[in-house]
Structure 1
């Protein structure tokens, strides 16, 4: 059976499609894989001979389907709507090229300790799993932290859900305090105050900052490309006299925008936020990412890959090259990343041979 890493390194990538939106939790993994295979073998769905179905994968609700012919992969992608299952339990699928959903998987660490005094964290996690089934939650740690993986949009939905939960609990606390002043003088008051302060600590990343500030959350790869390769980001901030404060948390970057003129500039800041979100959305659809894995390779091969990437980034000025300890990411348009990778592999093959 093929693996995702094997697909990346072979011509099978041209015959492979990414299938997202599988109904997680309703069926066994084997049953889902069989259903996916039957769906994409059906000529009614523009399908054909399926070589393999890779499921489960690292991303919850996402499978990889490898066809025997490239044209079949193109046909199923061209078909806009795919529905898996019967009328009673039907899931709408999103089908794309193997490299198209490059930003579909995001890892984040949640600190749920702010909710300790208000809710049972295990129940909160179960509610979130039901509300956003495409997310994959790790094990809850004693300090209240938990890892979560899913698409960037799903992570955004998670953040919004948590913020609404925090806001709701804060409002309840205010009502308790205003309606029960006598109780607030007793010991429970201190508990409420501690809970209130704890929830307030959730405020560093609110949907909208207080005063004239605004906050937006972006995929880190998209943000870095926007900042380093697109003049529009810095020029927009300069044009509207906006200051930005950025915080990178793994795959997610939070950007806080505020007017450097002070006073009531809320509308201007909101406008800039909207512009940046539009830029980012456009890039989200256009950018592709390829990764060269260094870990596990011989030192000679690692040096060759690094040297090739250093040289090629001077020729491909619209490609962002991120050098990491275990890998190298190249981010750019589909054609640029394809040619960039092809040149690196060609050079690597010549040296190894």
Structure 2
């Protein structure tokens, strides 16, 4: 007899310190649309039903995540892969002498992605000026009128355009941190060259290199496949 469908009972408790389990389940569902997921139990157990190859693919997906928890040095990588938390705090600041000024506070990763793939969102005319200040995980975008031709209404419209785009990105973006296993310049060059070669196959992925790691930002499926190939 051939079994076309199998059921697996998974324990996600090992991930609870690094991920919000509900977000992890949602990511599992997005990655494995051929599977049926039961409700997440308070103790971290969840039942999954589907074909054996699909269950195997889910196992590989979870093993990749579990491997990132193997040592303290990779915990930052595992935490960064969960859904980018929304830190956008829109607030109105007092009017200044050259027109109305407003600010939008974004997650820095979202700001980089928006600036790279949606530059028109941050483009303005001679009546409005935009500046940004990055402080670690957050970037503050300041929008204000420019000189005597400033238009307070347009300042508001630019802010709303940035807010609308950021909401879309917060709901779809993920980040994976690839730490350099070999800390030499040769090891860094290998990772950067490999990422550059793969970039052509993942045009919507943003790669940000640092001295000790590379951040990969994009949709959940793209980031997972990209880091898996690396």
* TM-score grouping bracket, smaller chain normalisation: 0.5 to 0.7
Matches within 5 A, 1:1-353: 49-54=9-14, 57-58=17-18, 62-63=20-21, 75-76=37-38, 101-104=82-85, 152-153=86-87, 156=89, 207-211=91-95, 212-235=100-123, 237-238=124-125, 241-262=127-148, 265-294=151-180, 296-297=181-182, 299=184, 301-314=187-200, 316-344=202-230
Offset, 1:293: 1.1
Partner Cα distance (2:179, 2:81) in 1: 19
| TM-score (normalizing by structure 1) | 0.42
Offset, 1:338: 3.4
List gaps (5 residues or longer) in structure 1.
Answer: 1-46, 86-96, 105-151, 161-206, 345-353
Larger radius of gyration: 1
List gaps (5 residues or longer) in structure 2.
Answer: 1-6, 44-61, 66-79
| TM-score (normalizing by structure 2) | 0.62
Change (3 A) 1:48 1:315: closer
Offset, 1:291: 1.8
Offset, 1:273: 0.4
8 Å contact from structure 1 (residues 321, 329) kept in 2: yes
Change (3 A) 1:324 1:53: same
Change (3 A) 1:283 1:55: closer
CA RMSD for the aligned pairs?
A: 3.7
